[in-house]
């Protein structure tokens, strides 16, 4: 029997943030059929862009924490997207895919370890059967507002 996701979040000490307000002229999510497409969310700390570049001003472990924080923000948006669709996080059938963008120098090669911060949080919250997902992770030249990490998500309800 499927565990209640909100009880799981509470047990993990996670409070869902309100749906993130996009920094520009787009929406936090869009639904098509059973798929919810969540916009790329940049890492934030105390409500401000969490700035940093891997390979120069930030280390892998700290960026992994930032990726985990982005995943929590994505869950806040996913919660709103599910509710807009007349469901909630317990109605998530599958986390389908995430794309992890890591602000990297030309020589930094641990984008997969950084993005694990998000992947592991999703598995903790939803379990492997629902939370297990496809993924791409790579190093980008820069991100909006200088953020260290940006992640987008596709989920199925």
List of residues contacting a second copy (CB under 8 A): 22-30, 32-35, 37-40, 53, 55, 94-99, 101, 104-113, 115-116, 119-120, 123, 132-146, 150, 152, 154, 156
User: Minimum CB separation from a second copy for residue 71, in Å?
Assistant: 12
Rounded Cα–Cα distance for residues 78 and 71 (Å): 10
Nearer to a second copy, 66 or 116 (CB): 116
Rounded Cα–Cα distance for residues 55 and 50 (Å): 16
Rg of the chain (C-alpha set): 15
Tell how strand 134-140 and strand 94-103 pair up: parallel
User: Minimum CB separation from a second copy for residue 65, in Å?
Assistant: 15
Nearer to a second copy, 88 or 120 (CB): 120
**1, two tokens:** 């029997």
Strands, E, within 23-116: which ranges? 29-32, 35-42, 44-45, 48-49, 94-103
Nearer to a second copy, 15 or 32 (CB): 32
User: Minimum CB separation from a second copy for residue 25, in Å?
Assistant: 4
């Amino acid at each position: 029997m499927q565990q209640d996701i909100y009880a799981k979040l509470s047990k993990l000490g996670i409070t869902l943030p309100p749906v993130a307000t996009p920094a520009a002229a787009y929406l936090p999510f869009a639904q098509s059929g059973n798929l919810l497409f969540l916009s790329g969310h940049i890492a934030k700390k105390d409500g401000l862009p969490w700035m940093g570049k891997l390979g120069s001003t930030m280390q892998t472990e700290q960026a992994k924490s930032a990726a985990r924080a982005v995943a929590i923000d994505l869950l806040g948006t996913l919660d709103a997207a599910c509710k807009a669709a007349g469901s909630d996080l317990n109605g998530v059938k599958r986390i389908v895919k995430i794309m992890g963008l890591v602000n990297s120098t030309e020589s930094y090669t641990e984008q997969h370890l950084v993005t694990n911060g998000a992947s592991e949080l999703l598995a903790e919250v939803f379990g492997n059967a629902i939370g297990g997902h496809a993924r791409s992770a790579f190093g980008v030249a820069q991100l909006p507002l200088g953020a260290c990490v940006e992640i987008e998500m596709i989920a199925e309800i």
